[in-house]
A and B are shown apart, each in its own frame.
Chain A
Amino acid sequence: MRRAASASSADNSGASSRRRKMMADSESIEEVAVIGNTDITPTEAENNIVNTMVERGTSLLKKMEISVAEAEKRTGKNTVNMQETYTVYLIETRPAESVSEGGTPATPDTLWRRYSEFELLRTYLLVTYPYIIVPPLPEKRAEFVWHKLSADNLDPDFVERRRVGLENFLLRVASHPVLSNDKIFFLFLTEEKGWREAVLETGFQDKVDSRLKSLNATFRVKNPDKRFTDLKQYSDELNTVISQLLRARAKVADRLYGVYKVHGNYGRVFSEWSAIEKEMGDGLQSAGHHMDTYAASIDDILEEEEHYADQLKEYFFYTDAVRAVCRKHELIQYELELAAQDLAYKKQQKEELVTGTVRVFSLKGMTSKLFGQESQEQRESRLTALEQNIQEGEAALKQKNAECREFVQTAWEDIERFKEQKNKDLHEALISYAIMQISMCKKGIQVWSNAKECFNKM
């Protein structure tokens, strides 16, 4: 049984939609409970979410439900005419009203997309909205893995986690106040065939190269905006700390797996041993079974932990997007300063030309000194040209100023929105981590209590 996640869950956290899927898929929902409100049933909780969606959702989300329902393997010829195997993901959209009717939901519209198309969409968004912190995609290749997890892109577990990550991406974009209104995004969800052409038609490709160049270039800004420099620093530090945490966590998971699995050997040995014992036999045998249970329990525990890691990973990748916005601002600031500088220089030149003093070195000035004064006509024409330049320069500066102001305003709006989202999401992630720990300890206590009873009967 699988349910499409409703879009509002992206409002708080993409992780919530994952968790709700987990709940739907699992068999026993008897003891589901809500902290603080013990009487709430799953349906009521669902309605809560729906209501919030309507309150807080974007206009896109008010119209449609989005999900990435399935993944499939395909083979085909690639651009260099070689056979390749790749995965496609099914995007389902359906009108939002069908949920509250209570009857069977309407059949969704569907189309298939592969990961590279998601990448294309994201690049387009990055270039088109440089002042927006664009949500990240799930990782291209599995990083921070521990030995049990496969790093193979075709491995079913990896594909599943990627499917969830892609859905999360779409929901994040769909719930963004600015991005959700983008036409190309809408087409991505609804037009399977013509989408690629539509994207290319926007001409965003031209901006891609220059963006890459600007991101990587080194330049110094004279009057940096403190808010942005602070943000960039925070983003860099967050990036470092989360990557450290993810690495450490992967190693810890690996080791914990080892601890639990070795206990499985007890199961085997106790079973064999019980065969030669009379009074001790039963106790040993049943204790052995509990050891097997204990060893097996780590699989579920670590799978849940993996979701927690995915939540951290999303924000790890988000830091790159934040950094990109800061860099873009730096670039704009720099260009503004250059324009101002350029204008000042030209004005200086004009002044000198008018007053006849040479303060600024110019080749013309030098040659005229060496080879004799220029004629009045020549001076006049130069002056006119300069004045023209100055006018153009002033216009350019004005435009750059406006551009900068607008960038700062829109960017900062998005940054505030992002900060709030981040705090909420990560807070929830940490709480769910705590709950996982509690659950793990409870399981441990249960198993060992059972084993103790068995040993007492030895």
Chain B
Amino acid sequence: MSGQAVPVDLSGHMLDLEEDEDLEVFSKHHSSAADGGSMPNSPSSMVNQYRLEDEEDELVDTMKDLLVTVDQPESHVTAIETFIVYRVVTKTTRSEFDSSEYEVRRRYQDFLWLRGRLEDSYPTLIVNPLPEKFVMKGMVDRFNDDFIETRRKALDRFLNKVSAHPVLSHSQHLHVFLTAQDLLSHRKQGPGFLSRVGETVRAVAHSVRGLKGRPEEFTLMHDYVEEFSSKISSVDKITQRIAKEQREYVDELKRCGPTYSLWAALEEDLAEPLRGVAGCVERCCVETEEHIQYLSEVLVPAVHEYVLSADTVKAVMRRRDTIHADYEVKNEALALRKDEPQALEEEVGRLAERLELANSALKGDWCRWQEGMRGDLRSAFVSATEKNIQYYEKSQPSQWIKMPWHILGRTPFFMPSLQFHSSTLHKVQLV
């Protein structure tokens, strides 16, 4: 084992045929990217390879060799159940794909499967989260158009992130997901569930024991993620709350417009300005509705993705800790054992390497994650502010302010008492 190029897949105790395939994919990628020839296989050089890939990725970004889209949600009815199926289109120039274009149909469960397999294969890489299985509160209907569209966008995002990831995009599971017409037969293979149980048990056992040698940088990472998770969850809740308050606001505001119109019907001289106000109020309602939609369908999902992502990072860190603890336990045992050290030594060595790889994978992916987070959240917040600006621009009653001032019979000299900037003044026109 030590002579081969060691894959990033580190769930070493598992017997998984697919791991070997992953292995090959991985080495193939490296041979196409590197100078060719035999691969260096020490952990530290692996780290260098990894970093190189990241830089390459940036260059290649504009010329993506793997493009995926998720679209065309359709209702699929069987005797037992009804569910939504999405079309997944792949366009690629990668040699490991037989064709350059693929089109398959996938349901949400298939995405769940893919993600599970990716996590299993690369336990210390940060895999993008999927939109949640259960509906978020406030939405009742799983088959509601808005919900389906929001989910579709999230699934599209997920696949795009995975296919842009330097390591994950070469996963055999992804390959199968994108190409196989019948995914079900592939899904039936693999342990998945059992391994996770084992992992959880060991994680619990280790946490009881306590981790002694956790490197400083991972402790810092851990503390950061805890705090970040709490903050981003707050932002998520606040945003949802704002949407709720806006909804209550617009529901009340909707009553005002008709009342002004009713009043206008009673009046003669006042009819026009009253109708003007009614129109203004009605437009404000329309704009607010649109804004609520934006919040629920764009901003909240964008923020929520990072709530889930933070949880993912926490899980990744736990897995790293487990791997570390595995090594520690055996290492301590080795120190105590005097007889038969050979087998144990080998095992410890293997675990040490495994740990080393896990750490470097996580470190690399952590940088990637941070940059991604910063970019994603920045653009989400910036477009949110733009939306707010637009909202106020469109809500301004600038049209109907061209009211017949002459009805007042004089220049409205009382206006000095109302302060407003001279810029407003120029916008207001006298009829």
Contact = CB atoms under 8 A, between A and B. Distances in A.
A423 interface: yes
Given A241-B262, A437-B397, 13 more contacts: A33-B415, A33-B425, A34-B413, A35-B412, A237-B266, A258-B245, A259-B249, A265-B241, A427-B270, A434-B400, A442-B421, A442-B423, A456-B382
Interface in B209-261: 224, 227-228, 231-232, 234-235, 238, 241-242, 245-246, 248-249, 252-253, 255-256, 259-260
A449 interface: yes
Contact of B235 (A16, A248, A266, A442): A266
Interface of A: 9, 12-13, 16, 19-20, 22-23, 26, 28-29, 31-38, 40, 42, 45, 48-49, 234, 237-238, 241-242, 244-245, 248-249, 251-252, 254-256, 258-259, 262-263, 265-266, 269-270, 272-273, 276, 279-280, 283, 287, 423-424, 426-428, 430-439, 441-442, 444-445, 448-449, 451-452, 455-456, 458
Nearest to B423: A442
B276 to A, nearest CB: 7
Contact of A251 (B252, B277, B391, B419): B252
A262 B389 contact: no
B403 A431 contact: yes
Nearest to A287: B381
B259 A245 contact: yes
B228 A23 contact: no
Contact of A40 (B266, B389, B408, B416): B416
Contact of B420 (A49, A234, A263, A438): A438
B100 interface: no
Given A276-B224, A427-B273, A452-B386, A256 B249 contact: yes
Contacts of B235: 266, 269-270, 273
A458 B425 CA distance: 35
Nearest to B261: A241
A458 B374 contact: yes
Contacts of B248: 255, 258
28 contacts: A12-B414, A22-B417, A29-B419, A31-B419, A32-B416, A33-B422, A33-B425, A34-B413, A35-B412, A40-B416, A49-B414, A241-B266, A252-B249, A255-B249, A256-B249, A262-B245, A265-B238, A269-B231, A276-B224, A279-B374, A427-B270, A427-B408, A430-B273, A434-B280, A435-B401, A438-B397, A444-B389, A444-B391
Given A262-B238, A273-B228, A427-B270, A435 B382 contact: no
Given A438-B420, A444-B392, A456 B378 contact: yes
Given A263-B242, A266-B238, A238 B416 contact: no
Given A263-B242, A448-B389, A452-B389, A428 B414 contact: yes
Given A424-B408, A456-B382, A234 B397 contact: no
B197 interface: no
Contacts of B427: 438
Contacts of A254: 252
- By DSSP majority rule, is chain B's interface helix, strand, loop, or mixed? helix
B97 interface: no
Contacts of B93: none
A45 B252 contact: no
A223 B162 CA distance: 86
B377 interface: yes
Nearest to A432: B418
A234 B428 CA distance: 33
B207 interface: no
B200 interface: no
Contacts of B416: 20, 23, 32-34, 40, 42, 45
Given A455-B382, A456-B382, A34 B411 contact: yes
A424 B378 CA distance: 50
B249 A441 contact: no
A227 to B, nearest CB: 15
B392 A255 contact: no
B346 interface: no
Contacts of B409: 424
Interface string B130-165: 000000000000000000000000000000000000
Nearest to A29: B419
Contacts of B408: 424, 427-428
**Size bin of chain B's contact surface:** 35 or more
Contacts of B391: 444
B10 to A, nearest CB: 29
A427 B263 contact: no
A249 B263 CA distance: 14
B41 interface: no
A456 B384 CA distance: 12
A241 B378 CA distance: 47
Contact of A234 (B266, B377, B400): B266
A245 B263 contact: yes
A252 B385 contact: no
Contact of A426 (B270, B280, B419): B270
Contacts of A456: 378, 382
B393 A441 contact: yes
Nearest to B419: A32
B411 A427 contact: no
Nearest to B424: A438
Contacts of A36: 405, 411-412, 430
Contact of B266 (A20, A238, A265, A448): A238
B274 interface: yes
Interface string B369-397: 00000100110011001101101110111
Given A276-B228, A279-B374, A433 B277 contact: yes
B392 A448 contact: yes
B420 A439 contact: yes
A32 B419 CA distance: 5
B263 A242 contact: yes
Contacts of A283: 378
A248 B255 contact: yes
B280 A31 contact: no
Contact of A19 (B227, B418, B422): B418
Interface string B5-24: 00000000000000000000
B413 A451 contact: no
B48 interface: no
Nearest to B404: A427
A183 B280 CA distance: 47
Contacts of B377: 458
A258 B414 contact: no
B393 A423 contact: no
A147 B270 CA distance: 31
Contacts of A248: 252, 255-256, 259
B269 interface: yes
B398 interface: yes
Contacts of B256: 245, 248-249, 252
A28 B256 CA distance: 33
